[in-house]
Amino acid sequence: MRIFVTGGTGFIGKKLTKVLALQGHELYILTRSKAGKTDTENIKYIEGNPISSGNWQNLIEGCDIVANLVGESILQRWNEDAKKRIRDSRIVATKNIVDAIPAGKKLTLISTSAVGYYGFHEDEIIDESYPPGNDFLANVAKDWENEALKAKEKGARVIITRFGLVIGEGGGILEKLIPIFKSYAGGPIGDGMQWFSWVYMDDLIKAYLFLINSKELEGPFNITSPNPVRNKDFSKALAKALNVFAIFSVPPFAIKLALGEFAEYSIKGQRVIPKRLLELGFQFDVPDIFDALKRVVK
């Protein structure tokens, strides 16, 4: 198949595009700069900015699938500029993709979202039937998904993938946490009872391919481990995987000083499960948090 990818040079995108290319698919990967990137038999890099209209949009017409992974990282201190970048990189980019899909084109748009869609929750188990929350990330996710769903009006099949925090090598939350834990400064945040919805990278890629290849599927899918964990258990598992101690809790005020508004997403949480995938018989290969962390650390 011919696949157009946004966000293909990011943390998740690099892994996904490598797998797709190995399977023989023809990939067009949108990138702001082609410097240092080399085309191969299966991969062609297309220079362009997804939040701006451009010639890159013309390629979408000839593709079977658009994999929309673009998005400014939320793992940063937020200010008004950062929040605007987070929002525009998702919503404006998705609008430009949908604008480029010709009416009547029978392609699949698989567009990223996040479990932040549901907002903050305590112990209730959250599945795809839950409504969106009202905080900043929930509103971004809701608007992001709504832009993607407009492609249905053009005849496209639309899949929304709501990712949990991704556990993998070379980026994501572990890139920030591992140095902290190695310096013995890591530990649970507050009482550590908040829920942490996560997914191992290889399982995310497996689920992504499962959804692409199941031609009748559409709508939202949570891509998270079926076993969310509390923050204190995640901290214990990471310390064990690194063979370090994590006996001190991190006070919430310290997180707020370091991260500002984004700190709320560390202090609060949600217990999300991949109900639709499980009902379809999808099997997660690494559903245990210690197993996932041990693989990354190794």
Tens of pLDDT, residues 85-104: 999 999 999 999 999 999 99
Band the pLDDT of 279: cuts 50, 70, 90: very high
The per-residue pLDDT for range 218-277, each reduced to its tens digit, is: 999 999 999 999 999 999 999 999 999 877 777 776 666 666 666 677 778 899 999 999
Residue 179 lies in a domain: no
CA distances from 209 to 213, 282, 296 (A): 6, 11, 21
In a domain, 294, yes or no: no
Answer whether residue 290 is part of any domain.
no
Count of the separate structural domains present in the chain: 1
- pLDDT tens track for 106-150: 999 999 999 999 999 889 999 999 999 999 999 999 999 999 999
Domain span holding position 121: 2-168+197-225
Q: Is residue 48 in a domain? A: yes
- pLDDT at 19 exceeding the cut of 70: yes
Determine, yes or no, domain membership for 94: yes
For residue 121, what is the domain's CATH number?
3.40.50.720
What is the CB neighbour count within 10 angstroms for residue 15? 20
Residue 135, domain member (yes or no): yes
Q: Which residue has the higher pLDDT, 10 or 79?
A: 10
Residue 292 within any structural domain of the chain: no
CB atoms within 10 A of CB 159: 22
Q: Is residue 263 part of a domain?
A: no
The pLDDT value given to residue 46: 97
- What is the DSSP track for 26-78? EEEEEES--TT----SSEEEEE--TTS--GGGGGGGG-SEEEE-----S-S--
